[in-house]
Amino acid sequence: MAEFDALVAGDSAITFAWQVSAPPTPGRTSKLLGRVEPEGRFGGCAPGVALALAELGHRVALVSWLGDDSYGRAYLTTLQSSGVDIAGVEVVGGQPSPRAFMLYEASGSATCLHHPSGSGSLRLASAGRERLRASRWLVLTAGPAAMSEALLEARLPETELAWDVKGDPSHYPIPLRRRIVEEAHLLCFNRDELAFLAESFDPREGGSTEDQLEDIRRVTQAILVLTDGGAGCQVIWSAGRERIPAKRVVVEDPTGVGDAFFAAFLSATIRGNAPPESGRAATMYAAEFLQRTAAPPAATSTTKERS
């Protein structure tokens, strides 16, 4: 089997996004803004990263889960036509594809409500295991803990590990978080996700962002990438640290831009670029991604499903 640059693993989802008038709070009403019925978009971190890597010229395989509905079939066709190897994607009849509801605040912060459908049962099948053995990088996104653990156990010593961090404690209980951080070569996260990582390593009470970063640096040799929306990112590696500004692009629905940024940073790293160069390439790609998806097409133009 030909070598893959990366095997990407995690959840897929059909994503619906709204702006909200105020952060959701128990006992308080928050208004949804924009379209009453936004069209479903192909989403989920793993296929988003895989599609971006394929667009950037990499051979990439995907391990994920979809239902055998019109959304799932259309998504599978898009992945395959984009050059993503889909042998490791489990498609289950009689179940709808997972759904995600994204609620964006004016500040850019987001609340994600995810229905996994049957994807919680996702395990590492033989096709995924074979492709992992033929991959230079293992890329973890948001996915079932049992699958992530199986991938880590099957990873060859020479296969590098990257984590597009997502703050989901059901997917990433503290022992699994610790293991990934300690073994990773690349970690990409925002400020909320930094706190999610730091709480796994006996953080200092009331610690600042810098304290949290230092807590992570003590336990990993990975390149650390702290993203900050339109302000850009901060890249920290063994030889230094650099802040990299970003071109600000205002859109109503920024779904997927973090995964696009991560994919572009990984792409530049695979090609041998130094961390600051990878950061600049990633910020440029993320801006292009937002400009292209300002008016995204629906996930399917023929059928609108409810489930």
User: Domain with 67 in it: what CATH number?
Assistant: 3.40.1190.20
Please tell me the predicted confidence (pLDDT) of residue 299: 57
Decide if 18 is inside a domain. Answer: yes
Q: Give the single-character DSSP code of 232.
A: -
Mean pLDDT for 231-244 is 94
Please tell me the predicted confidence (pLDDT) of residue 252: 65
Cα–Cα distance for residue pair 216/10, rounded to 1 Å: 23
Q: Where are the beta strands (DSSP E) in 21-158?
A: 32-33, 41-43, 60-67, 84-92, 99-104, 110-115, 135-140
Mean pLDDT for 223-250 is 90
Residue 47 pLDDT > 70: yes
Please tell me the predicted confidence (pLDDT) of residue 32: 92
Decide if 42 is inside a domain. Answer: yes
Please tell me the predicted confidence (pLDDT) of residue 297: 52
**Mean confidence (pLDDT) of the chain:** 89
Cα–Cα distance for residue pair 30/32, rounded to 1 Å: 7
Q: Tokens for 50?
A: 């895989």
Mean pLDDT for 149-174 is 95
Q: Are 225 and 279 in contact (CB under 8 A)?
A: yes
3-state secondary structure of 110: strand
Beta-strand pair 233-237/240-244 = antiparallel
Residue 302 pLDDT > 80: no
Decide if 303 is inside a domain. Answer: no
Band of the pLDDT at 177, cuts 50, 70, 90?
very high
Residue 169 pLDDT > 90: yes
Band of the pLDDT at 298, cuts 50, 70, 90?
low
Decide if 299 is inside a domain. Answer: no
Band of the pLDDT at 2, cuts 50, 70, 90?
low
Decide if 307 is inside a domain. Answer: no
Among 232, 258, 228, 230, which Cα is nearest to 245's?
Answer: 232
Band of the pLDDT at 306, cuts 50, 70, 90?
very low
- Of the two residues 297 and 43, the one the predictor is more confident about is 43
Please tell me the predicted confidence (pLDDT) of residue 119: 84
Q: Are 236 and 212 in contact (CB under 8 A)?
A: no
Band of the pLDDT at 181, cuts 50, 70, 90?
very high
- Give percent above pLDDT 70 in the chain: 93
Q: Tokens for 129?
A: 């295991």
- Give percent above pLDDT 90 in the chain: 64
Domain range for residue 97? Answer: 4-292
Angle (nearest 5°) at CA 259 between 255 and 261: 110
Decide if 178 is inside a domain. Answer: yes
Phi-psi region of 96 (alpha: psi -120 to 50; beta: other; left: phi over 0): beta
Please count the structural domains in the chain: 1
Band of the pLDDT at 236, cuts 50, 70, 90?
very high
Decide if 300 is inside a domain. Answer: no
Count of beta carbons in the 10 Å neighbourhood of residue 287: 18
Decide if 221 is inside a domain. Answer: yes
Q: Are 272 and 230 in contact (CB under 8 A)?
A: no
Task: Produce one character per residue of 196-231: b if its CB has 16 or more CB atoms within 10 Å, e if not.
Answer: bbbbbbebeeeeeeeebbebbeeebebbbbbbbbee
